[in-house]
Structure formats: C-alpha cells, structure tokens
Amino acid sequence: MNKLTKLGVTKTLSWAAVAIVMVIIFSNKNAILNWGDNQIKTILLAVLIAFGLFMDLVIRTIIKRGRQLKENQINYKNLNVEIIATLLYIFIIIITLYIYYESAGAVPVGWLWFIAYSTIVFVDITFGVCDLLFNQRR
C-alpha cells in the first residue's frame, strides 16, 4: 500500500467515524423532535465536522507535497461521481421525509440539521472512496 492510498484510507475512515457518531447522536431518543431544546448536540456535531475538516486539511497538506499532474484528472473523475451521488443522496432524503411527514404538514427542524451535517459527511466519504478506487486503477 503506497502513501497516497494510506492517506486516502485515513481520510475515509476519519469521516466514517464522524458519520457513525453523527448517526448515534441523531438516533438518540427524540433527538429529531426536540432538536432545539439541546444545544449540546449542535455543538457536538460542529466539533465532529471540525474534526473531519481538520483531518482533511492535514491529509491535503501531506498529499500536496507529493502529487503529480495526473492527480488532477483523478480529482475531476472524483468530482463527477461525487456531484451525482450527492444530488441523489439529497433527493432521496428529501423525498423520503416529504412522504413520511406529508400528512403532518411539516418536517421537524432536526431533520434539516441532519441533512446539512450528513451532506458534508456524505460528500467527504464519497470523495474518499472514489479517490481510493481511482488511485487503484493507476
């Protein structure tokens, strides 16, 4: 396993850890319905996202030292897959929430927080997985 692959695995695993903790927070009893009553959850999620972004910064700094021009082509492929996957992810979540809460007339605000935070995590995990897949083909 080369250095670039190790860094890609580290990035993907760090975002996967963020995703797991985020799901645990949101799956806590009544977390979605009582989101505004507990600011600790909001702060904890912000810290989790900050951790993921910090790991990205560290990994990108290390990778920039050794990247070649061919990496730009791989990043372009990553972005194409990532954009399509992210659009599908958001579409599926929003349609599912609409169908589930249609009779209620409103979606709890906790789901909006979930969509916002989970989209960041989904994008970074998707990019990490694509980066690993496209790096294996070189």
Please give the pLDDT value at position 69.
Answer: 46
Contact 138, 73 (CB under 8 A): no
Alpha-carbon gap, residue 86 to 60, rounded angstroms:
21
Cα distance between residue 36 and residue 57, in whole Å? 31
Does the pLDDT value for residue 93 go beyond 50? yes
Average of per-residue pLDDT across 89-105: 94
Distance, in Å, from the CA atom of 48 to the CA atom of 62, rounded to the nearest integer, reads 21
Is pTM, for the whole model, over 0.75? yes
CB atoms within 10 A of CB 133: 14
Domains identified in the chain, total number: 1
pLDDT tens digits, one per residue of 25-76: 888 777 777 777 677 888 888 899 999 999 888 887 877 765 554 555 556 7
User: 3-class SS at 32?
Assistant: coil
Q: Which residues contact 13 (CB under 8 A, 6 or more apart)?
A: none
> Who contacts 37 (Cβ-Cβ below 8 Å, separation ≥6)?
none
Structural domain span for residue 62: 3-136
